[in-house]
Structure 1
Amino acid sequence: MKKKIIIIGSGFSSLSASCYLAQQGYEVEIFEKNSSIGGRARQLKKEGFTFDIGPTWYWMPDVFERFFADFNTTPQAYYDLIKLSPAYKVYFSKEESITIGDTLDKIYAAFESIEKGSSQKLEKFIEKARSNYDIAIKDLVYRPGVSPLELITPQTATKLNQFFSTIAKEVRREFKNDQLIQVLEFPVLFLGAKPSDTPAFYSFMNFADFGLGTWHPKGGMYQVILGLSELAKSLGVKINLNASAEKILVDNHNKATGIISNGKEHQADIVLSGADYHHTETLLHPELRQYSETYWDKKTFAPSSLLFYVGFDKKIENVEHHTLFFDVDFKAHAKAIYDNAEWPEEPLFYASFPSKTDDNIAPKGKEAAIFLIPLAPGLRDEQSLRERYFKKIIKRFEEITNQNVSNYVIFKESFCVNDFVKDYNSYKGNAYGLANTLFQTAFLRPKLKSKKVKSLYFTGQLTVPGPGVPPSLISGKLVAELIKKHN
């Protein structure tokens, strides 16, 4: 008889793991607490508009290709990809901006136009980033974080100094212009930590950005979720919605034997959680939890976010599909997230207009917009604060892009700390998981396999390899391999 695995949650890592485990011959059943699949990558549809609630950036296309190749198929079998041209735009003020093109040559030219001689420096910087990418994404991140020896290879031995320097130091060594520095530090924000706390080795994110480009799945990121679930179902995976896990069942030998969902027992040989790691351990007796409240409290978490999903009754001008607003003090905002944990006085923000690329996202002549302000997790979240910050960023948006948009808002929905807790049981309402700082990398992250409960495993952004969509796909593969090895 096939061994049965229950998976808690249906985000990227859970769906990825479900495919690999079903391929290995397990009977796999997913329990998702919400009414739709996708975890944080759900979708909002309203009045003819479509929004990705969670991730909006499609980076590292090679990771998606590698995933689907493991099942003898391709991403294109499930969704259509469009390479964005330009990739994105960054505003520093009403008068100053940089547009990041869809080729390295275009990006070199954009840098050169801001700082003479910077294109040659950027070329060298990207070569180093490419080398790091080859080591990290093609090899290191596919290791399960079990031992520090995983990080020691002939290739990493030559890069050791980069683990003890930071992105901020490396960038500033080569570039003097503040605007270019901010553009080069931007990609590591996806790793959830300040550039001054992120090891220099993570410059591979710059190659992911400039070298591999930014893509858009037609219909939005949710099409990737639908593709994964289609693949999972074709492999025999069963998915239950509105099925919250209330308790993990453990026998007298400290072995996981299933879960209780909606008051009913469901037996399994193995339990795997792709839900929030901290929350998952609260489904166990305290003595069976690996990590204490103090442990979690001391960790550096990636930011939470205040998000707005807005339908506009006109086309928005002077913006690209992805547009970043770095017109205020970057350091002050970073301090409010990582050091003081408070609402920022003047926040940087990001805006996405997927209907610029994709006609099906908004009704004709209208625009779908997503605005995101990074915030410290655990902040007080009230409707009045959300309103104040919406007015704050829209005022700046109008000034910088030289247009009136506030009179054209058909509707807006918001999502913030309280929603991350309510919808995803997210620790302190974090949006991206644990930051990838030096002491929270690889084997120093929470483990894929429980040390206290046999047959209990974890996957997702709080464990290895870390935050982001491509790492979540990889995390699903890693835990499936670990389960195969131990069972």
Structure 2
Amino acid sequence: MKGRVSRGRDVVVIGGGISGLATSALLAAVGYTVTLLEKQAEVGGRAGSWSEAGFRFDAGPSWYLMPEVIDHYFALLGTSADEQLDLVKLDPGYRVLSEGFEEPVDVPAQRRQVVELFERLESGAGARLERYLDSAAETYTMATRRFLYSTFESFGPLLTPDVLARVPRLIRLLLEPLHSYARRHVSDPRLQQILEYPAVFLGTSPFAAPSMYHLMSHLDLDDGVLYPQGGFTELVGAIERLAVEAGVTIRTDAEVLGIETTRAASKRRPAAVRGVRYRDRNGREVSLAADVVVSAADLHHTETRLLPRELQTFPKRYWAHSTAGPSALLLYLGVRGELPQLRHHTLLFTKDWEENFRAIFGRTTFIPTPASMYVCKPSATDPGVAPEGHENVFVLVPIPADPSLGGSGGERIERVANAVIGQLSEWAGIPDLAERIVLRRSYGPADFERDYHSWKGTSLGPAHTLRQSAFFRAGNASKKVQGLYYAGGSTIPGIGIPMCLISAELVLKRLRRDTSTGPLTEPVRPVVVRDGA
């Protein structure tokens, strides 16, 4: 008998950010009929792009880390990162400007050179870094093998000899903050900050992040930092192409207003997905039937706005006891002339590190001054992102998750932006920076809330504190509505482009009732139904 591919059930994916696109492509590749609905005029979400006057900016993500995770995702779809992207390794990986130190610290691309750098700045720190990175690599391997690719639907697959043998160490790494763990290895404040700053990638502070996350140092100090020529919009574009090739229908300017359900016979889940209701680009309300709905939108918005109270797995009381990651002031600057003082990635760290994070995450929050910040100058590597004779400069300043701080064009945000430009000018030694800016755009917490329905205006999602990591983080399936699943930074495994790609894979695992803890076999295969079966 001849085999045929089953198109399976109808799926609606809410949100066309990286996780929504990735989920759509995977589900279509295995036989589902998928429609993706995106609120904005273009897909990409926080990983989108903005262009003006010959400049092209990545709207948000700009660190290409965990390359093997990204390559695995492409391999699931029968291709590779090398086929889809033109990747360049940055050397140095990034520059650090620390308050109180005149000379910048350039972090090389190779581990051996990083060890030499640490030893040069602090006697004995090189050998201690070797041990730190060995531990980071081991922890990272354990995480990818047993935790990152798990839906935690069942804990049985986690009870393996390699996990059980490491339980005492895992407990210590979970209970000790990254801050104190890093400072047991180095005492030079610049080196401490190099080991602690990755906590910001996780939407938290090194004083709250479990030391389990020292694994992040394996990514930038062992593996190095890559950049896709053309920017992260190339990654988004590649996944969008693969989704369309797999048969996904993408509808933009389509804001979902509600998830429609019907009564279910199951006592465990009283309702089942029936479809979604959305507003199209002409302002008309449209109902779209579906057997499965995957929300890759902000989880707080999905639960508290798109579902009635009785069907919310994560109602308002859940969020009242949750910790949001920081928001951000983003600056997109077009600058005349060259800026040799900045590398592709440059980090500015304040001397009072703890006070800086207390301002963002403390009981009473405020915008720190001076502020630690991240600066990206992609034109150092990619001439196509700025007109000839100009530089493309993206600035990210972590600030409290508070929409009342305002957004683009608001008096408060613009005042802070002026101060940030002044600080960057002084610390980097660019005295005429402000005068050379020919294009400027700001973006703040209110913008994140408006454009992405972001909880508290956070730029990332729920912080990776102990209570919001691994199996403590919000799961990816509704406990009240059959057929409703979640993807993206709000759910497992967490924040960042690689995590969002894994979250797409976890949706497929849920649908297959796959409780394994490792990545899926490459490539994914459609379900085949035999004629006459």
**Shared topology, TM-score over 0.5?**
yes
Q: Secondary structure at the match of 1:344?
A: coil
**CA distance in 2: counterparts of 1:315 and 1:115, whole angstroms:** 33
**CA distance in 1: counterparts of 2:465 and 2:424, whole angstroms:** 32
Q: CA deviation at 1:379?
A: 4.6
- Preserved contact between residue 350 and residue 371 of structure 2 (Cα < 8 Å): no
Tell whether 2:130 aligns with 1:123.
Answer: yes
Look up the match of 1:390. Answer: 417
Tell whether 2:140 aligns with 1:133.
Answer: yes
Q: CA deviation at 1:149?
A: 5.2
Q: CA deviation at 1:401?
A: 2.0
**CA distance in 2: counterparts of 1:295 and 1:238, whole angstroms:** 34
**CA distance in 2: counterparts of 1:380 and 1:346, whole angstroms:** 21
* CA shift digits 1:388-412 (9 cap, x unpaired): 2222122222222222211011121
Tell whether 2:393 aligns with 1:369.
Answer: yes
- Preserved contact between residue 448 and residue 458 of structure 2 (Cα < 8 Å): yes
Written as runs of structure 1 = structure 2, the 5 A alignment for 1:195-344 is 195-253=206-264, 254-262=271-279, 263-281=285-303, 282-339=305-362, 340-344=364-368
Q: CA deviation at 1:329?
A: 1.9
Partner AA of 2:340 in structure 1: E
Q: Call closer, same or farther: CA 1:136–1:477 in 2, change over 3 Å.
A: same
- Preserved contact between residue 328 and residue 348 of structure 1 (Cα < 8 Å): no
Look up the match of 1:25. Answer: 31
* CA shift digits 1:234-275 (9 cap, x unpaired): 111111110110111111331111111110111111111000
Partner AA of 2:292 in structure 1: I
Tell whether 2:476 aligns with 1:448.
Answer: yes
Q: CA deviation at 1:284?
A: 1.2
Tell whether 2:77 aligns with 1:53.
Answer: no
- Preserved contact between residue 179 and residue 206 of structure 2 (Cα < 8 Å): yes
**CA distance in 2: counterparts of 1:484 and 1:152, whole angstroms:** 21
Q: CA deviation at 1:292?
A: 2.0
Partner AA of 1:10 in structure 2: G
Instruction: State which drifts further: 28-37 or 286-295.
Output: 286-295
Q: Name the TM-score, length of structure 1 as normaliser.
A: 0.97
Question: For this pair of structures, how many residues does the alignment match?
Answer: 487
Q: Secondary structure at the match of 1:464?
A: coil
- Preserved contact between residue 10 and residue 33 of structure 2 (Cα < 8 Å): yes
Of 443, 446, 453, which residue of structure 2 is paired with 1:415? 443
Partner AA of 2:387 in structure 1: P
Look up the match of 1:470. Answer: 498
Q: Call closer, same or farther: CA 1:167–1:148 in 2, change over 3 Å.
A: farther
* CA shift digits 1:275-330 (9 cap, x unpaired): 00111121111111112212112211111101000111111121100001113422
- Preserved contact between residue 273 and residue 458 of structure 1 (Cα < 8 Å): yes
- Preserved contact between residue 350 and residue 370 of structure 2 (Cα < 8 Å): no
Tell whether 2:116 aligns with 1:89.
Answer: no
* CA shift digits 1:360-387 (9 cap, x unpaired): 0001110010111101112522312222
* CA shift digits 1:389-438 (9 cap, x unpaired): 22212222222222221101112111111110111011111111111111
**CA distance in 1: counterparts of 2:419 and 2:261, whole angstroms:** 50
Q: Secondary structure at the match of 2:57?
A: strand
Partner AA of 1:335 in structure 2: R
**CA distance in 2: counterparts of 1:366 and 1:139, whole angstroms:** 46
- Preserved contact between residue 41 and residue 225 of structure 1 (Cα < 8 Å): yes
Q: CA deviation at 1:147?
A: 4.4
Provide structure 2 residue ranges, at least 5 long, that are not aligned to the other structure. 1-6, 265-270, 280-284, 515-526, 528-533
Q: Secondary structure at the match of 1:142?
A: coil
Q: Secondary structure at the match of 1:428?
A: helix
Instruction: State which drifts further: 272-281 or 327-336.
Output: 327-336
- Preserved contact between residue 273 and residue 459 of structure 1 (Cα < 8 Å): yes
Q: CA deviation at 1:189?
A: 1.5
**CA distance in 2: counterparts of 1:287 and 1:187, whole angstroms:** 38
**CA distance in 2: counterparts of 1:280 and 1:375, whole angstroms:** 24
Tell whether 2:150 aligns with 1:143.
Answer: yes
- Preserved contact between residue 333 and residue 394 of structure 2 (Cα < 8 Å): yes
- Preserved contact between residue 146 and residue 158 of structure 2 (Cα < 8 Å): no
Look up the match of 2:15. Answer: 9
**CA distance in 2: counterparts of 1:471 and 1:79, whole angstroms:** 19
Over aligned residues, Cα RMSD in angstroms? Answer: 1.6
**CA distance in 1: counterparts of 2:135 and 2:487, whole angstroms:** 30
Q: Secondary structure at the match of 1:202?
A: helix
Q: Secondary structure at the match of 1:420?
A: helix
Q: CA deviation at 1:151?
A: 5.0
**CA distance in 2: counterparts of 1:409 and 1:390, whole angstroms:** 13
Provide structure 1 residue ranges, at least 5 long, that are not aligned to the other structure. none
Q: Secondary structure at the match of 1:337?
A: helix
Q: Secondary structure at the match of 2:277?
A: strand
Instruction: State which drifts further: 280-289 or 122-131.
Output: 280-289
**CA distance in 1: counterparts of 2:103 and 2:152, whole angstroms:** 43
Partner AA of 1:361 in structure 2: V
**CA distance in 1: counterparts of 2:9 and 2:256, whole angstroms:** 20
Instruction: State which drifts further: 223-232 or 195-204.
Output: 195-204
Q: Secondary structure at the match of 1:377?
A: coil
Instruction: State which drifts further: 246-255 or 38-47.
Output: 246-255
Q: Name the TM-score, length of structure 2 as normaliser.
A: 0.89
**CA distance in 2: counterparts of 1:151 and 1:304, whole angstroms:** 34
Query: Matched residues, percent identical?
Result: 33
Larger Rg: 2
Tell whether 2:425 aligns with 1:402.
Answer: no
Q: Secondary structure at the match of 1:302?
A: coil
